[in-house]
Amino acid sequence: MVRTLEEHSRPFWELSYAISRILSESEHVETALLAILRLLKTRLDFQVACLWRVDYEALLVRCAECIHESGDRYGLFERLSRARTFSFGQGLPGKAWEERTPIWYQGLNKQENFPRLIIAKDTDLESAVAAPIFAGRRVLGFFELFANRAIADTREMTEFLLIVGGQVGTYVEKMRVEEQLTGAEEQFRLLAETSADAVVTITTESKILFCNAALENLFGYKREELYGKLLHVLIPQRLREAHDRGIQRYIASGEKAIPWSGVRLPGLHRDGHEIPLEIAFGEHRQGSQRLFSGYLRQTERED
């Protein structure tokens, strides 16, 4: 079983805790990655630290950040790193991408697969390691660290870097999914607000989470009066039990009691009169929460 950061060997415990804290407190991916890059460089006593991202469309690795000690000793090396891209297996980042594990270069001036060697020779850098950032089997990027001395590639250090890469990768994927969901939710709300049809979104417990201006006009409620209320408030009394049974059956079995593409049902106006409606339904998710939306249009009253 893979150990957590806190369960790792004592030499890395404090650093592991600090990384966990950054991930738990950061709201933005870029802020967290840069903070961890700085932390690894400082605490492990490296002179240069680079962050690389995998561009799967171009099948290249690109440098996103490069930090180093004050002064211009490593300035040219930073500029070259930021300007370079590496393909699968090329250079230190590309090799770590290919092997999917931390790759150590001891004696940089002896490495054949190190395109930045000419510039590195003008510095005092002697060793380096590139550690993958991954989520599942997908490599997202790398931490690349350079030292002005030999760094022992111990089993403990390699395992520590693997654990960090896995935890950071999981965080990056989680934040990416949340950003996509937030973007999708904002797009949905924008479209709903400009829709001529009334829109209402409920939870699996039939509590109202959202409604648009058209629904306010159709039912005579202000939306703040509806948020958190059961959908029953918009359903005639005689149909509420059937609604509850239908949604519970769908959640349990996936079986739809009525056609979701469009069905004629009455709604209940705030003043008590019934509204003839044509309603279509849809299901979506917000994080782990299942939500249902109804799209309602008033029809001609049937005699």
- Out of 160, 182, 204, a domain closes at 182
Neighbours of 41 (CB within 10 A): 21
Residues 115 and 80 occupy one common structural domain: yes
Asked if residue 188 belongs to a domain, the reply is: no
164 with 256, same domain?
no
Q: What is the pLDDT of residue 185?
A: 61
Q: What is the CATH number of the domain that holds 176?
A: 3.30.450.40
Q: What is the pLDDT of residue 24?
A: 82
Do residues 61 and 109 share a domain? yes
* Residue 226 shares a structural domain with residue 86: no
| pLDDT, tens digit (0-9, with 9 covering 90-100), for 167-197 | 888 888 776 755 554 555 666 666 667 777 8
pLDDT at 186: 65
Predicted pLDDT of residue 61: 95
Check whether residue 39 and residue 71 sit in a common domain.
yes
List the alpha helices (DSSP H) in the chain: 13-25, 29-43, 75-83, 91-99, 117-120, 155-193, 213-219, 223-226, 237-253
Q: Are residues 176 and 228 in the same domain?
A: no
Amino acid identity of residue 88, one-letter, is: F
* 2 is a domain residue: no
Shared domain for 157 and 23, answered yes or no, is yes
pLDDT of residue 64: 94
Residue-level pLDDT at 179: 58
Q: Are residues 231 and 263 in the same domain?
A: yes
Report if pTM > 0.85. no
164 within a domain of the structure (yes/no): yes
pLDDT at site 7: 42
Q: Do 252 and 172 share a domain, yes or no?
A: no
> How many domains are contained in the chain?
2
**For 105, phi and psi rounded to 5 degrees?**
-115, 110
* Cβ proximity of 51 and 168 under 8 Å: no
pLDDT at 122: 84
pLDDT tens sequence across 50-91: 999 999 889 999 999 999 976 778 999 999 999 999 999 999
Task: Give the integer Cα–Cα distance in Å for 238 and 232.
Answer: 10
In a shared domain, residues 199 and 178: no
Q: Domain for residue 4, yes or no?
A: no
Q: List the one residue out of 58, 293, 259 whose CA is nearest residue 184.
A: 293
Tally of CB atoms within 10 A around 34: 18
Could you tell me which of 136, 127, 205, 140 has the C-alpha nearest to residue 172? 140
Give yes or no: residues 61 and 163 share one domain: yes
Average pLDDT score over the chain = 86
Closest CA to 150 of 129, 131, 132, 130: 129
Whether residue 16 is found in the same domain as residue 102: yes
Q: What is the CATH number of the domain that holds 251?
A: 3.30.450.20
Residue 5 lies in a domain: no
Q: Which residue ranges in the chain fall short of pLDDT 50? A: 1-8, 181, 303
pLDDT confidence of residue 235: 96
Of 185, 235, 181, 238, nearest to 206 by C-alpha is 235
Expressed as residue numbers, the domain containing 264 is 195-298
